[in-house]
Chain A
């Protein structure tokens, strides 16, 4: 999608990190509104593309942005970009809702507590600057076409194996073995790239 990136990603992330810092330090509502106007429609859009119904997608986006307002102090720009941080919160929230709506689980714990634990993990494990700039996208592009397609469907579009089988009209067993191979190849490319080295 050339031309759709009006601002280069690094500049955008630096701007957003600075706004998040103002939210954390000064409780700056204007800074928050800027982030809200950028991310709330995109969170909703991304979730809807992953098959989440609009009302639910909006709720998850709202919960995610509420978390940003209260917990911006937990965001560490040296560990992850703000969009990655927000993505993880939204993902966890979606899973948590899926679990609660789908089944009865004894004593569901607070999703915020889970999220905080997750963020604690991130603080220990986040990628450093150099590794983050390198990115997975280039490795995906270098995959053979058939495997690139599998990564596109399973990862970028977040489809289940059954949904991929339906989309590609391949037997489920074939989908599973192609997926395994595609992600093994991606993983090997990642490990070989040297970004994974501790």
Chain B
């Protein structure tokens, strides 16, 4: 009765998002996924609503500066909210996290047909944008940690399935996969890992040594 989905980290990830306990990079990834695809919104809305109930019944920490705080609020300026940018490639929550859109990414060469841009390395979790040429086969690789990937544009496939724009893909240390970008166009992905990926083939080890270089800068 319980299919292979039993072990998917998806629902725990969504709950972590609702609880706000993920790294900022993963929070942004989930927000972007919810923005792109409706499938998981109802579940997250229900979790948020439960948190709202918890808040309404939460234990109180007495306000130490109530009158000052109120005075500050009533004299504060109404913060102007910029209209959300339209016609962007990146979904709004990802664009807000990055501070730029697809056209402004400073791509680095990773492998022939694969470019990457490392966004943050420490407190936010290692987040990387990938741009993969149509039909490009990635080298076999495994992961020391967990990797969550959101497809932003195009698609890729591995032995577990095909992932299209808005889809989430999960890889853990047990997964040794060889993703292939769809032939219909460039594949653009946002990936968040809790440890660096490890290339496993002979070629992979060579390219891994190349990949180390930008990290040192």
Q: Does B93 contact A (CB under 8 A)?
A: yes
User: Contact flags (1/0) for A73-100 with B, using CB distance below 8 Å?
Assistant: 0000000111111111011001110110
Cα separation A105 to B94 with both chains bound (whole Å): 13
Q: Does B214 contact A (CB under 8 A)?
A: no
Q: How far is the CB of A85 from chain B (nearest CB, A)?
A: 7
> What DSSP secondary structure best describes chain A's contact surface?
helix
Closest approach, in angstroms, between the C-beta of A46 and any C-beta of chain B?
A: 4
- Tell me the nearest residue of chain B to A4, going by C-beta: B57
B97 proximity list for chain A (CB < 8 A) = 99, 105
Q: Which B residues are in CB contact (< 8 Å) with A103? A: 24, 120-124
Tally of contacts, chain A with chain B, CB under 8 A? 244
* 24 chain-A/chain-B pairs, Cβ below 8 angstroms: A4-B57, A41-B62, A42-B55, A42-B58, A44-B61, A46-B55, A50-B20, A58-B61, A62-B73, A69-B74, A81-B56, A83-B55, A99-B124, A103-B24, A109-B99, A127-B42, A132-B46, A159-B21, A180-B8, A184-B10, A187-B43, A195-B42, A195-B46, A198-B42
Chain B residues with Cβ below 8 Å from A182 are 12
**Number of chain B residues whose Cβ lies closer than 8 Å to a Cβ of chain A:** 71
Query: Does A14 count as interface, using CB distance less than 8 angstroms?
Result: no
Tell me if A9 counts as interface (CB < 8 A to partner B). Answer: yes
B53 contacts A by Cβ under 8 Å: yes
Tell me the bound Cα distance from A5 to B56 in angstroms: 10
Question: B residues within 8 Å of A by Cβ?
Answer: 5-12, 14-16, 18-21, 24, 27, 31, 34-35, 38, 41-43, 45-66, 69-70, 72-74, 76, 78-79, 81-82, 84, 92-93, 95-100, 119-124
Say if the beta carbon of A144 comes within 8 Å of chain B.
no
**Known contacts A69-B76, A87-B48; is-contact A180 B54 (Cβ 8 Å):** no
